[in-house]
């Protein structure tokens, strides 16, 4: 079957193809990059604990001046040791947790820009006292910067906001028999104790 196109229609189609190619030319494809970053987390009641974080983000491998540089989906898995949560599993009967993680993604270009991001922590089972560490999984979307980008890093600080639930999935309550019982929600500030670099894109038009 032959399809005929007039010159005007062919020109219009060609223009659309050129625009589509041009729209994606400045943004390099992003691929997942994963690093483990040492963090110190200050757990209420317990105090400071070593909590390595596996940070994964979709980061373009290259960057060029003036072009968009989009960091895609990211995830951070915080490893809380038993000393940080056994007191919640035992006396409080905490069997599940969820919440949010507030941090930044830091981008080096002409200077360093800290982009605030919030990750969602899905409902996660709390291991019993003989089980493995508690792995807190946060996921979110990354920011868009403008090239040239020479370094992408996790934020030097992060804050976990964790709600706790019993074996039935009901909120764990503080002073459950008192006049005004409140759900148990913990704020856990964390700070990096090592290099937070995730990726160092290649600047393709560097002089």
Residue 152: partners with Cβ closer than 8 Å, 6 or more residues away: 57, 59, 71, 105, 106, 107, 108, 197, 198, 199, 200, 201
Structural domain of 85: 28-203
Q: Please report, for the domain that includes residue 130, its CATH number.
A: 2.60.40
Task: State the Rg of the chain over Cα.
Answer: 23
42 assigned to some structural domain = yes
How many folded domains does the chain comprise? 1
12 assigned to some structural domain = no
70 assigned to some structural domain = yes
Using DSSP's 3-state secondary structure scheme, residue 163 falls into: strand
pLDDT for res 207: 58
pLDDT per residue as tens, the chain (207 positions)? 333 444 444 344 333 333 333 334 455 677 899 999 999 999 999 999 999 999 999 999 999 999 999 999 999 999 999 999 999 998 899 999 999 999 999 999 989 999 999 999 999 999 998 999 999 999 999 999 999 999 999 999 999 999 999 999 999 998 888 899 999 999 999 999 999 999 999 999 865
11 assigned to some structural domain = no
pLDDT for res 137: 98
Helix (H) or strand (E) holding 135: strand 134-141
pLDDT for res 25: 46
1 assigned to some structural domain = no
**Whole-model pTM?**
0.84
102 assigned to some structural domain = yes
């Amino acid at each position: 079957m032959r399809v005929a196109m007039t010159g005007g229609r062919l020109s219009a189609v060609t223009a659309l193809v050129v625009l589509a190619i041009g729209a994606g030319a400045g943004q390099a494809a992003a691929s997942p990059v994963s690093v483990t970053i040492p963090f110190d987390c200050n757990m209420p009641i317990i105090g400071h604990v070593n909590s390595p974080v596996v940070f994964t983000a979709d980061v373009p491998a290259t960057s060029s001046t003036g072009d968009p540089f989009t960091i895609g989906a990211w995830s951070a898995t915080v490893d809380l040791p038993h000393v940080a949560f056994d007191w919640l599993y035992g006396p409080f009967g905490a069997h599940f947790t969820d919440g949010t993680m507030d941090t930044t993604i830091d981008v080096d270009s002409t200077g360093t820009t800290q982009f605030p991001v919030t990750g969602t922590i899905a409902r996660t089972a709390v291991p019993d006292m003989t089980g493995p560490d508690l792995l807190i999984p946060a996921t979110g979307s990354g920011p868009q910067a403008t090239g040239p980008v020479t370094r992408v890093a996790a934020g030097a600080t992060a804050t976990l906001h964790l709600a706790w639930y019993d074996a039935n999935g009901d909120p764990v309550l503080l002073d459950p028999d008192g006049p005004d019982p409140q759900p148990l929600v913990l704020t856990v500030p964390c700070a990096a104790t090592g290099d937070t670099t995730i990726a160092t894109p290649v600047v393709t038009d560097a002089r």
